[in-house]
Amino acid sequence: MSARRSQRLPEPVLRALFVLGSVAFGIPLLLAALGFDAGPAMIALWRGSFGSYDAITSGTLVRATPVMLTGLSVAIAFRAGVFNIGAEGQFLAGAAAATSLSMLPVLRASYPSSPVALVAGAIAGGAWAAIAALLRARFRVLEVISTILLNFIALYLVGYLVRGPLQEPLHIYPQSKTIAVAARLSRLLPSSRLHAGFLIAVAAALAAWWILKFTAAGFRLRAVGANADASRSAGMIDVSRTTTQAFVVSGALAGLAGAIELTGVTFALYENISPGYGYTGIAVALLARLDPLGVVASSLVFGGLEAGATAMQRDAGVPSVVVSVIEAIIVLGLIVAWPQARRMSIRRGQQLPTSEPAET
Amino acid sequence: MTVSVEGATLAAAFLEGTIRTATPLLFAASGELIIERAGLMNIGLEGVILGGAFGAFLGATHGGTAFGYSTAVLSGVLVMLLFAACTLGLGADQIITGTALTLLALGTTGTLYRTLYGGGGAAVSISTSAAVAIPVLSRVPVLGTALFAQPVMTYFAYMLIPALWWCFRRTHAGLALRAIGERPVAALAAGVPVRGYRLAATLVAGALGGLAGGVLVLAQAGTFVENMSAGRGFIAIAIVVLGRWHPLGVALATLLFSATTSLQYLAQAMGVNLPYQLVLALPYVLTLAALAGIGGRVVPPAALARVD
């Protein structure tokens, strides 16, 4: 199924047109319907997202980085038939681990400690996902449910950490101390907020693409996701092991996103460090059709939208939550417009025989 | 003497808080229970509650509290109509649709609220429905005021659980619904209109989710706040799991989740320095443990979210 999908060339173009269309026509229509002046709002959206060197490097690319990684996280899990909607919790676990590591006196002092923090973040995210993976493999617990629960637990744990062990020295604000300069990710460009995490995210996407397409592990993952029963029957694939591995890797990517956001952007841990990056990752992955390279492109779309929305609110008085509407419309539009997008996640289980003609 | 009086007051406050927190959760969880017994999973419940809350606010500012409740129900049903159109109509994935609906509700209600009532300014407040004391029962010490001097909706919530139990166990429709959740193909072969039942379950879940939002606005907050559902949709999903897809279990699980929230407020009011985030996390950990089979096997409806 996925092989055939990737061979159709016009589809990415169609998708790009669809996104362009919903942004270029959907947003003005929506704004006009709400009684806003669409013209200045759209100009602000453009200025804040792609309109200048500063907007691109300090806005869009910085915003795209976390959702590129969470999108990748979701894409890899979904490709393996795992419904990891816990990227949010794994992101928090990664951010919390990166904070703790960056606070260690040994690491704090001299050399750049960000690589250590990033690895810790990825491990923490992977471990957080491993709980759900284990529950799925061992007790057949639906990962949709377990990851929702783990998202809450992660949020409360961060809430505890920033009021307890990791709270800033004055004990006033529910946030951690700002991490030392040596512990931060290096900036890539002069006078820009763009940090090395962006390159790491792109590299991760390339690696994921390579692994999925050209390695045996990638083949196993795709086979299990496409048809777990057939994979099991074929006898050469350990289905449970493959899904568990994919789940953990997916969590590690989301954890890495959290660690990068912490060491590259916020420099401190607090409860709202993720404004829903884990959930946006689902939309990013869907728009990309679960293709790692597509994730890079679609994360730029969502990064641009969110960066532009901030400018829209500041310059044109349009509430920035309007972007959530556009994101939802894009996802719903994808569901409606592409039959495969609807069905990509159907796994083993009963399907209703219906009187309708089969679609595929 | 003073100690015991204080203790009784605290206990009453704790109970009252528990019931107050439980009311919207019970409505939402009941809706989720119904839809999950039909084999569908609605991750978008959060969006349904939010839609209901905004609908309630909109309705109440124009036509009073009762009208607010009806617009809340209507909004919830509307959101779930979208869910039904995508999942039952187009065969779209339930999880993806649900995620999109939550995003949609969050964005739409937030934008509309700011557009209609101005952003950042003083919150527009509406009168909340008053508590109605039940004559004899509300006089019972400690329990009375906590349980029986509540807004009318809470009494509906009390009745919802036995009603659900009766529907599931004693009616033809309940049996059909449970059959659909376990083995839709077999139900279909037995002549049960599977799609019709699923549509009905979806709409009822929407009505109850909308009502949950209505309670938040009309019986509690008295205003609309962006994202005021604050995760209750997801909590309700956890409640259904911990309650093992059974009405009575759902009621008990709701009480547990609400009690921890209430305990947190109580501890804060008393100035107890408790790491309350850890207390709040407890019911979720417990739900995970329950899923792992600690304390007996937990079996979801076999066809839930189309995973066997």
pLDDT tens over chain B, length 308 residues: 455 667 777 888 888 889 999 999 999 999 999 999 999 999 999 999 999 999 999 999 888 888 999 999 999 999 999 999 998 888 888 888 998 999 899 989 988 888 888 755 556 777 777 777 777 777 777 777 777 878 888 888 889 999 999 998 888 888 888 888 888 888 888 888 989 999 999 999 999 999 999 999 998 888 898 888 888 999 999 999 889 899 999 999 999 999 988 888 887 777 777 788 888 898 899 888 888 877 666 678 888 876 32
- A241 in a structural domain: yes
Distance from CA of A114 to the nearest CA of B (A): 28
Q: If you search the block for the tokens 């300069």, which residue do you land on? A: A181
- A113 in a structural domain: yes
Which positions 29-58 of B are in contact with A (Cβ < 8 Å)? 41, 43
Cβ count near A211 (within 10 Å): 17
Residues in chain B: 308
Verify whether the Cβ–Cβ distance A279 to B304 is below 8 Å: no
Question: What is the full per-residue pLDDT of chain A (360 aa) written as tens digits?
Answer: 444 544 555 777 777 888 888 888 888 888 888 788 888 889 999 999 998 999 999 999 999 999 999 999 999 999 999 989 999 999 999 999 999 988 877 666 556 678 889 999 999 999 999 999 999 998 888 898 899 999 999 999 999 999 988 888 888 889 998 988 888 898 998 888 999 999 999 999 999 999 999 999 999 999 888 888 888 888 778 889 999 999 999 999 999 999 999 999 999 999 999 988 998 999 899 888 899 999 999 999 999 999 999 899 888 888 888 888 888 888 888 877 766 555 544 443 333 333 333 333
Assess contact for A88 and A279: CB atoms under 8 A: yes
Verify whether the Cβ–Cβ distance A36 to B115 is below 8 Å: yes
> How far apart (Å, rounded) are the C-alpha atoms in residues A6 and B46?
34
Considering CB atoms only, which of B281, B300, B306 is closest to A153? B281
Measured between CA atoms, the residue of chain B closest to residue A340 is B92
- A179 in a structural domain: yes
CA distances B34 to A86, A308, B42, B50, B72, Å, are 24, 41, 11, 19, 19
DSSP letter at B123 equals P
Measured between CA atoms, the residue of chain B closest to residue A324 is B107
Considering CB atoms only, which of B100, B237, B275 is closest to A160? B275
Considering CB atoms only, which of B43, B114, B234 is closest to A152? B234
DSSP letter at A272 equals G
> How far apart (Å, rounded) are the C-alpha atoms in residues A325 and B109?
9
Considering CB atoms only, which of B108, B194, B288 is closest to A146? B288
> How far apart (Å, rounded) are the C-alpha atoms in residues A323 and B107?
7
Half-sphere exposure of A186 (CA within 13 A, CB side): 8
Domain that holds residue A259: 66-287
> How far apart (Å, rounded) are the C-alpha atoms in residues A243 and A80?
6
Domain that holds residue B280: 2-120+129-306
The pLDDT, as a whole number, for residue B222 is: 86
- A154 in a structural domain: yes
Q: Is B131 on the interface with A (CB under 8 A)?
A: no
R_g (Cα) of chain B, nearest Å: 20
Assess contact for A262 and A117: CB atoms under 8 A: yes
Measured between CA atoms, the residue of chain A closest to residue B110 is A321
Tokens in use for A163?
A: 């009021």
The pLDDT, as a whole number, for residue A346 is: 41
The pLDDT, as a whole number, for residue A243 is: 94
Q: Is B285 helix (H, G, I), strand (E, B) or coil?
A: helix
Q: Is B260 on the interface with A (CB under 8 A)?
A: no
Measured between CA atoms, the residue of chain B closest to residue A280 is B103
Verify whether the Cβ–Cβ distance A343 to B91 is below 8 Å: yes
Q: What is the CATH number of the domain that holds B46?
A: 1.10.3470
Distance from CA of A1 to the nearest CA of B (A): 16
Distance from CA of A130 to the nearest CA of B (A): 13
**Which residues of chain B have a CB within 8 Å of the CB of A159?**
277
Q: Are strands B149-151 and B131-133 parallel, antiparallel or unpaired?
A: antiparallel
**Which residues of chain A have a CB within 8 Å of the CB of B239?**
none
Q: If you search the block for the tokens 């529907």, which residue do you land on? A: B167
Tens of pLDDT, residues B28-84: 999 999 999 999 999 999 999 999 999 999 999 888 888 999 999 999 999 999 999
R_g (Cα) of chain A, nearest Å: 21
What are the beta bridge partners of residue A67? Answer: none
Cα angle: B182, vertex A146, A209; to 5 degrees = 105
Q: Is B290 on the interface with A (CB under 8 A)?
A: no
Distance from CA of A210 to the nearest CA of B (A): 26
- A214 in a structural domain: yes
Considering CB atoms only, which of A131, A329, A349 is closest to B307? A349
The pLDDT, as a whole number, for residue B122 is: 57
Verify whether the Cβ–Cβ distance B288 to A160 is below 8 Å: no
Cβ count near A284 (within 10 Å): 33
Q: How many domains, chain A?
A: 1
The pLDDT, as a whole number, for residue B249 is: 93
The alpha helices in chain A, defined as continuous H runs, are 2-7, 10-21, 27-33, 38-49, 53-54, 61-79, 87-103, 105-108, 114-139, 143-161, 197-214, 216-226, 228-234, 239-261, 277-287, 292-316, 322-337, 339-343
Q: If you search the block for the tokens 């929230």, which residue do you land on? A: B261
> How far apart (Å, rounded) are the C-alpha atoms in residues B60 and A277?
34
Instruction: Return all residues near A29 (Cβ < 8 A) that are at least 6 apart.
Output: A38
> How far apart (Å, rounded) are the C-alpha atoms in residues A143 and A87?
12
The pLDDT, as a whole number, for residue A341 is: 54
Assess contact for B76 and B52: CB atoms under 8 A: yes
Considering CB atoms only, which of B95, B102, B114 is closest to A83? B95
- A245 in a structural domain: yes
The pLDDT, as a whole number, for residue A36 is: 83
Dihedral class, residue A47 (left if φ above 0, else alpha if ψ from -120 to 50, else beta): alpha
Considering CB atoms only, which of B90, B107, B287 is closest to A336? B90
The pLDDT, as a whole number, for residue A38 is: 85
Verify whether the Cβ–Cβ distance B275 to A164 is below 8 Å: yes
Tokens in use for B7?
A: 């203790």
**Which residues of chain A have a CB within 8 Å of the CB of B281?**
152-153, 156-157, 160
**Which residues of chain A have a CB within 8 Å of the CB of B231?**
152
CA distances B251 to A327, B25, B131, Å, are 35, 10, 22
What are the beta bridge partners of residue B131? Answer: B151
Q: How many domains, chain B?
A: 1
> How far apart (Å, rounded) are the C-alpha atoms in residues A264 and A170?
24
Tens of pLDDT, residues B280-289: 898 899 888 8
Verify whether the Cβ–Cβ distance A142 to B305 is below 8 Å: yes
